[in-house]
Amino acid sequence: MKKNILIISTSPRKGGNSDLLADEFLRGVKETENTVEKITLHDKTIGFCRGCLACQTTGKCVIKDDANAIVEQILHADVLVFATPVYFFEMSGQMKTLLDRTNPLFPTDYKFREIYLLAAAGEEEEHSVDGTVHGLQGWIDCFGKAKLAGVVRGVNSVVKGDIQKNITALTTAYEMGKNV
């Protein structure tokens, strides 16, 4: 069955380490019959959730910015892929802000079932990504039909381009995309 895959690169740096992981996942998907789209947040305007909960009755956020179109795409995707740099052992603020803005999805019949995380961290230890995994898992737990299907831990990636030395992470991202 053909899947609709949405990759969301949350790095504030175009061509940053997590963005390169997203590109490898994308390259793998392109070798399948699945459809794929990659969105980057570095050029988007996404405001903070106000906690008003109007979206729970209207199905739409009251904030008029780029998040609304992205949330609509998330609603219709079969597979979600989040790529993020790891800052202070956690996901980027851009990723967290977007996840908070997905509140309108709760009362919907969302399609996504599989979620992947591609994380680039400056630390050398793979456990440095654990906080990011835990944060995303908390979001996934709010969507009972979805599961975390895979994680790429692109460690030892401090300076832009460092991920290119982590052949294991790049290969894993590519293979995940190819086998989604």
Tens digits of per-residue pLDDT, 132-161?
999 999 999 999 999 999 999 999 999 999
Residue 129 covered by a domain:
no
Residue 131 covered by a domain:
no
- Tell me how many domains the chain contains: 1
Residue 89 covered by a domain:
yes
Confidence of residue 104 (pLDDT cuts 50, 70, 90): very high
Place of tokens 């989040």: 82
Residue 32 covered by a domain:
yes
CATH number where 82 lies:
3.40.50.360
Specify the pLDDT at position 16: 96
Closest Cα partner for 71 from 27, 36, 41, 43? 41
Specify the pLDDT at position 1: 86
| Mean of pLDDT over the chain | 97
To the nearest whole percent, how much of the chain has pLDDT over 90? 97
Mark out the alpha helices in the chain (DSSP H runs). Answer: 17-29, 55-58, 67-76, 93-100, 130-141, 167-179
Is residue 39 a contact partner of residue 23, using CB atoms and an 8 Å limit?
no
Instruction: Give me the mean pLDDT over the 12-41 stretch.
Output: 97
Instruction: Give me the mean pLDDT over the 101-116 stretch.
Output: 96
Residue 8 covered by a domain:
yes
* Tens digits of residue pLDDT in 35-50: 999 999 999 999 999 9
Instruction: Give me the mean pLDDT over the 26-32 stretch.
Output: 98
| pTM of the predicted model over 0.85 | yes
Residue 172 covered by a domain:
yes
Specify the pLDDT at position 89: 96
Residues 120 and 170: their CA atoms lie apart, in Å, by 11
Specify the pLDDT at position 165: 97
Triad 90, 77, 98: Cα angle to 5° = 35
Residue 116 covered by a domain:
yes
Q: Is the dihedral of CA 154, 96, 114, 148 positive or negative?
A: positive
Specify the pLDDT at position 30: 98
Asked if the model's pLDDT at residue 86 lies above 90, the reply is yes
- The domain of 57 spans 4-124+140-179
Residue 117 covered by a domain:
yes
Asked if the model's pLDDT at residue 126 lies above 90, the reply is yes
Place of tokens 């179109």: 69
